[in-house]
Amino acid sequence: MTEETRETLIHDWNEPYPTVDFEVQFDDETLRDGLQSPSVRDPELDQKLELIHLMNDLGIQTADVGLPGAGERARQHITTLVKEMASLNIQANVACRTVLTDIAPVIDVVQETGEPIEVCAFIGSSPIRQFAENWDFDHMLKLSREAVEFGVKNDLKVMFVTEDTTRATPEQVRALYSTAIEAGASRICVCDTCGHATPLGTKTLVRFVKDLVDELGADVGIDWHGHRDRGLGLINTLVALDAGATRLHASALGVGERTGNTEMDLLLANLKLNGVIDNDLSKLGAYCEKAAEAIGMPFPVNYPIFGKDAFETGTGVHASAVVKALRKGDTWLANRVYSGVPADMFGLEQVIQVGPMSGKSNVQWYLEKRGKEASDDAVGRVLELAKKTPRLLTEEEILGAAGC
């Protein structure tokens, strides 16, 4: 099939989105924010190292490798990960409160490893958080300034992070970011910490922050960190990019506190499909599997793209179309005729199964794929069993019914 013919087979109602004219950056939060999920375990060091290598292979620029103030185990892991990253393209950052005692251990790790570490200094910014904590806003500004200046004075890149930005007032957002930028922050991070934002709210807030940065004439990057309490993590992150964010935070499989963070794998996949990035994503499936194994979280079978069911069908009409494409010897066609996501783009393939909604083509393809004769009698026996079984048949059941 020619490229010209392919272009006529799918009418695309989607407009290019998001629209950017810069290299999109990604910050992987799996090993820090992701581990705040109440249902996961802190991976062993060798598992963290494997994940860092996979992140690097996917073209992810930075990874949050932990909280130095969390204890000796955390500091040991961070130190080893930073040393390993010295030979990779990916760089490390760590989360710290806007207090000097949190940032000081980072200086020690930098001195020990000889490698740069970005400090992500965070402070709550919403009125509700301030009220609950009995915080004084002027004191918050003082802490923010001192933390950023301390980091910069010690040759650390500092990203200033406002937790719960999506519920903060414009006046206080302006004051916090202006203070941090004046103190020398190289990046500022807009956070939807509680998953409160809608796409329109995300767009309005990020544009507000971008206008502030432009107004100050600052050469400062803008990060977006989103959660998915309302199921809007991914779309909000795409909107944030379109509105002016230059680095996007996400975690493998969307793991994180409560219902989790934006899904790094789905974010990369969608930006690839939309033509925004050209990263090699052939190891994205391995990244998901390794993350699920490392944190001890079951992999949902219906998870988009990388779940077991993503490219698998036992339905007759669907399977028939895929099989016809495969019989043409056209994997491009087979991966798109009944799928909005090309399986081969991610190192995967279409899988035909046999169940109560299957037709002859399912059985014929299944048997032929395994080098078995697909006679009418064999196909009939398998279909008879399938129609009275309320699930997909196992390979043993199919081959047994076919007499193979």
Q: Could you say which of 239, 267, 295 is where a domain stops?
A: 295
Q: Are residues 316 and 287 in the same domain?
A: no
Asked if 270 and 171 sit in the same domain, the reply is: yes
Provide the domain count of the chain. 2
Co-location of 73 and 203 in the same domain: yes
In a shared domain, residues 116 and 224: yes
In a domain, 13, yes or no: no
Which CATH number do you get for residue 75? 3.20.20.70
Question: Are residues 9 and 229 in contact, defined by beta-carbon separation less than 8 angstroms?
Answer: no
Q: Is residue 300 part of a domain?
A: no
Same domain, residue pair 267 and 357: no
SS3 172: helix
Range of the domain at 66: 25-295
In the structure encoding, which two tokens stand for residue 121, read together?
Answer: 């200094």
Dihedral of alpha carbons 66, 254, 232, 337, sign: positive
Same domain, 121 and 174: yes
Pairs from 51-56 (Cβ < 8 Å, separation ≥ 24): 51/252, 51/287, 51/290, 51/291, 51/294, 52/81, 52/84, 52/85, 52/88, 52/90, 53/88, 54/283, 54/286, 54/287, 54/290, 55/28, 55/30, 55/90, 55/287, 56/85, 56/88, 56/89, 56/90
Q: Which of 295, 325, 343 is the last residue of a domain?
A: 295
State the amino acid at position 125 in one-letter form: S
The answer to whether residue 29 sits within a structural domain is yes
- 58 and 87 belong to one structural domain: yes
Q: Left if phi > 0, otherwise alpha if psi is -120 to 50, otherwise beta: which for 66?
A: left
103 within domain boundaries: yes
Give me the sign of the Cα torsion angle 256, 118, 271, 280. Answer: negative
> Do residue 201 and residue 90 come from a single domain?
yes
In angstroms, the CA 48 to CA 54 distance is: 10
Task: Check whether residue 169 and residue 120 sit in a common domain.
Answer: yes
Query: What is the residue-wise DSSP string for 20-60?
Result: -SS--EEEE-TTTGGGGSTT--PPPHHHHHHHHHHHHHTT-
Residue 11 lies in a domain: no
Q: Is residue 307 part of a domain?
A: no
Whether 18 is in a domain gets the answer: no
Same domain (yes/no): 161, 97: yes
pLDDT in tens, the chain (404 residues): 788 888 889 998 998 889 899 999 999 999 999 999 999 999 999 999 999 999 999 999 999 999 887 788 989 999 999 999 999 999 999 999 999 999 999 999 999 999 999 999 999 999 999 999 999 999 999 999 999 999 999 999 999 999 999 999 999 999 999 999 999 999 999 999 999 999 999 999 999 999 999 999 999 999 999 999 999 999 999 999 999 999 999 999 999 999 999 999 999 999 999 999 999 999 999 999 999 999 999 888 999 999 999 998 888 788 888 888 888 888 889 899 889 999 988 888 889 899 999 898 899 888 888 988 889 999 899 899 999 999 999 999 999 988 88
0.85 exceeded by the pTM?
Answer: yes
165 and 203 fall within a common domain: yes
Do 78 and 186 share a structural domain?
Answer: yes
> Is residue 20, in this structure, part of any structural domain at all?
no
Domain boundary among 245, 261, 295: 295
